[in-house]
Structure 1
Amino acid sequence: NCEDIWNRVEKFHLTINQRAIDDPEYAELILEIGDGSNYDLVDWVFPDVNTYKLVESSAVLTVDNRTALRINEYVLDKLNGEMKEFVSIDTADKDNALNVDPAVFATETPAGMPPHRLRLKVGAQIVLLRNLSVEAGLCNGTRLTIVSFGDDIIYCHRNTDTKKK
């Protein structure tokens, strides 16, 4: 019985970081990271989001999309330049039997899809969510840097390229 096992377990409240006692470099790293807030972590990983080479080779991993979107907005706000907003199409296929209010589409961000209102800046890092051209190396997960915008198009270069395209 699980209850019998848990009744025999003794709880310890750990209050002293034992590793930090003997490892001053680790202790300093913990202090630099801060109290564990997402924004402290982002500031530590990306001390200057306008330094492209640093940002191209770094990433913050999260456990859910909401946290990732919040962090992306924070980093984007720190990036120099003018914001450009792209809005998704919010009309349903008339032949589809499912009748959903278009306002509902704007509140959802399914896995593998960009948000309804996609805000971007030149210099921002983006990741392809679909295979565009496997031969050209434009596959799901490819990291790109935005170089300019058209009305309905985003011009980028692949971060692994030696010359910008």
Structure 2
Amino acid sequence: MEVNLPFGGKVLILEGDFHQVLPVVPKGTKAEMIDACIVKSPLWKDVKVLHLKQNMRSVNDEEFVEYIQRISDGNELFIMDDLIKLPPSMAMQWEGQHSIYNLIDQVFPSLQEHANDARYMVDRVLLTPINDDVEQLNAKIISRFPRDEFTLHFFDEIEGDTQNLYQQEFLNSISPGGLPPHILRLKKGAPIMLLRNIDPKVRLCNGTRLICRGCFNNVIDAEILTGQYVGTRVFLPRIPLKTTESVHLPFVMIKRQFPIRLSFAITINKAQGQTIPTVGIYLPDHVFSHDQLYVVLSRGVSQSTTKILVQKETIPEEEGVHTRNIVYKDVLFPSS
């Protein structure tokens, strides 16, 4: 623009929520995560903040709105180690491993009868903090899903390795975040999520949810479940996926696979920005990042359609189910 002003003097509209999860700094401290926020940018002095204050997801459940607002502000009553008590209407008691299947049945009732129902699949999901638990939940659900199973394997290689220095078994065992698992188990009618931007023009972007309509060796027939292009049929190819520096491997690994994973369950961070009428929350351990609890609770629309299973042992002298809430109040309300 030949103008020595931020963004060439153009007006730029940014959207975000400081109540949600902060930028990811691998193994970073609280100070490092806050320092990565836009409020620490030299451009922040030029930003005018416009506040949106009405919760449109849960407009019909005022009590739920007030509760998650207290969670996000860090004002909910807590006991030691930032533990807060969950409402009995949402909390499920941990009674052993079968409790996980009870949660699945709460979120996906009569699953076999809705194996081809796109609306059923888009309206419900299980959320949990880390990828390992996402894969375990998806494996449990796909095994109960009707239809024949398609098993698709990665093709793994090391960039520039012409001497095959690493065994395939070792490469197959590496499963960094952001990449699909080495063995992808699919069935027709199962919900899936994209892990890469393929065609933004038709909303085939990282995080787009789809339903599998057909599976072949080199292409997957899928239907978009959300957004402007809901109902559109698309074909997803195998593509090379490279590991990034943040994985801290001594080499760049290339995995040739479909850029998708099952989405009966997804991580809390991946769910940011989505509205999900029926939400199941599985916490095998407490949340580990700023306002993850607020994010996971606010994906739903009411207390009655949100169920939480906390596996971590609660405080013996305190009745009810408790979980941890991490809030950095010094970044919730930027001064500008």
- Tell whether the structures are fold-level matches, with TM greater than 0.5: yes
Give the corresponding residue for 1:8: none
Q: Is 1:44 the counterpart of 2:106 in the alignment?
A: yes
Do the aligned partners of 1:130 and 1:139 also contact (CA within 8 Å) in 2? Answer: yes
- Larger deviation: 149-158 or 88-97? 88-97
Structure 2: gaps of 5 or more residues:
1-78, 234-336
If the length of structure 2 is used for normalisation, what is the TM-score?
A: 0.38
For 2:178, which of 90, 105, 112 is the aligned residue?
112
| 1:35 maps to amino acid | W
Give the corresponding residue for 2:143: 77
Q: Is 1:93 the counterpart of 2:121 in the alignment?
A: no
Inter-partner Cα distance in structure 2 for 1:38 and 1:63: 15
Inter-partner Cα distance in structure 2 for 1:156 and 1:79: 17
Q: Is 1:163 the counterpart of 2:231 in the alignment?
A: yes
Shift of 1:115: 0.6
Do the aligned partners of 2:223 and 2:230 also contact (CA within 8 Å) in 1? Answer: no
Which structure would you say has the larger RCO, counting Cα contacts within 8 Å and 6 or more residues apart? 2
Q: Which has the higher strand share?
A: 2
Inter-partner Cα distance in structure 2 for 1:96 and 1:57: 47
Give the corresponding residue for 1:63: 129
What's the Cα RMSD here?
2.7
Inter-partner Cα distance in structure 2 for 1:113 and 1:18: 33
Do the aligned partners of 2:225 and 2:231 also contact (CA within 8 Å) in 1? Answer: no
Do the aligned partners of 1:88 and 1:116 also contact (CA within 8 Å) in 2? Answer: yes
Shift of 1:162: 4.8
Shift of 1:48: 2.6
Inter-partner Cα distance in structure 2 for 1:18 and 1:58: 21
| 1:86 maps to amino acid | L
| 1:88 maps to amino acid | F
Inter-partner Cα distance in structure 1 for 2:87 and 2:174: 43
SS class of match (1:135): helix
Q: Which has the higher helix share?
A: 1
SS class of match (2:213): strand
| 1:79/1:164 CA distance change after superposition, 3 Å | farther
SS class of match (1:38): helix
Structure 1: gaps of 5 or more residues:
1-10, 21-25
Shift of 1:88: 0.3
Give the corresponding residue for 1:35: 94
Inter-partner Cα distance in structure 1 for 2:224 and 2:147: 20
Do the aligned partners of 1:49 and 1:75 also contact (CA within 8 Å) in 2? Answer: no
| 1:158 maps to amino acid | I
| 1:154 maps to amino acid | I
Shift of 1:18: 10
| 2:231 maps to amino acid | K
If the length of structure 1 is used for normalisation, what is the TM-score?
A: 0.74
Q: Is 1:142 the counterpart of 2:204 in the alignment?
A: no
SS class of match (1:105): helix
| 1:148 maps to amino acid | G
Shift of 1:68: 0.5
SS class of match (1:76): helix
| 1:19/1:120 CA distance change after superposition, 3 Å | closer
Do the aligned partners of 1:146 and 1:156 also contact (CA within 8 Å) in 2? Answer: yes
Inter-partner Cα distance in structure 2 for 1:136 and 1:101: 39
Shift of 1:58: 1.2
- Larger deviation: 139-148 or 59-68? 59-68
Shift of 1:39: 2.5
Q: Percent of aligned pairs with the same residue?
A: 27
Do the aligned partners of 2:152 and 2:217 also contact (CA within 8 Å) in 1? Answer: no
Shift of 1:148: 0.6
SS class of match (1:115): coil
